[in-house]
Chains A and B, each alone.
Chain A
Amino acid sequence: AQSVAQPEDQVNVAEGNPLTVKCTYSVSGNPYLFWYVQYPNRGLQFLLKYITGDNLVKGSYGFEAEFNKSQTSFHLKKPSALVSDSALYFCAVRSYTSGTYKYIFGTGTRLKVLA
């Protein structure tokens, strides 16, 4: 079965410090991985994706993610955190079952950037 795990419920980081939000996955075949961000009272917004190619993927708002096949991980990173980055972050993997694409989401990690 395909799955995604976000091992940390919350990550705290000081403004200006680098941040990492962890995600590991389990899929059969090639992984298609996504990161989304959710601000209060809003829907999920797409940040970045890994389909194929370079292991370092760059996305919106200065975020990037590193795909590591041997560790089955897709960690979200940013070199210098902003208070405005505080939000809920979801990792997702796209699965293909019975001719249909579906998305499996992790449980989310709340990022708090402290001024």
Chain B
Amino acid sequence: NAGVTQTPKFRVLKTGQSMTLLCAQDMNHEYMYWYRQDPGMGLRLIHYSVGEGTTAKGEVPDGYNVSRLKKQNFLLGLESAAPSQTSVYFCASSYTSAGRGRNQPQHFGDGTRLSIL
């Protein structure tokens, strides 16, 4: 039972390069989230998705794009990386708001550590 899997685990980029972070979950969760974690700032929501084919902006969306073409996958893209995007990125998933799943917690991946030089 893999849960939430993030790839890659580590990456170093140069300013201006692009890349895509992949998140995959095998729990049939409807909701998926991308966060960034920076020292002293906790987790900040970048983008989220409430279902296949739908995405929405979170608290800090600038410089990022996302896609959810399949229910189990949620991709986070950086089109032109900047040093300010150096961070640890976490993906999470959870059930929808309805039914037995509505009070369940989020499940997190182990993160992608991204450094931009």
Contacts and interface: CB of A to CB of B under 8 A. Distances in A.
Are A and B interaction partners? yes
Nearest to A98: B56
B15 interface: no
Interface in A80-115: 90, 96, 100-103, 105-108
A102 B97 CA distance: 10
Given A9-B40, A32-B103, A107-B41, A43 B109 contact: yes
B108 A102 contact: no
Nearest to A49: B105
Q: How large is the interface on B (under 10, 10 to 19, 20 to 34, 35 or more residues)?
A: 20 to 34
A106 to B, nearest CB: 6
Contacts of B109: 43
A41 interface: yes
| Chain B interface mostly | strand
B108 A43 contact: yes
B34 interface: no
Contacts of B108: 36, 43-45
A102 B43 contact: no
A89 to B, nearest CB: 11
Contact of A107 (B31, B42, B45): B42
A69 B43 CA distance: 25
B80 interface: no
Contacts of A44: 43, 90, 92, 106, 108
A102 B45 contact: yes
A29 B90 CA distance: 28
B40 A90 contact: no
Interface of B: 4, 31, 33, 35, 40-43, 45, 48, 50, 56, 58, 90, 92, 94, 97, 102-103, 105-111
Interface of A: 9, 32, 34, 36, 41-46, 49, 51, 90, 96, 100-103, 105-108
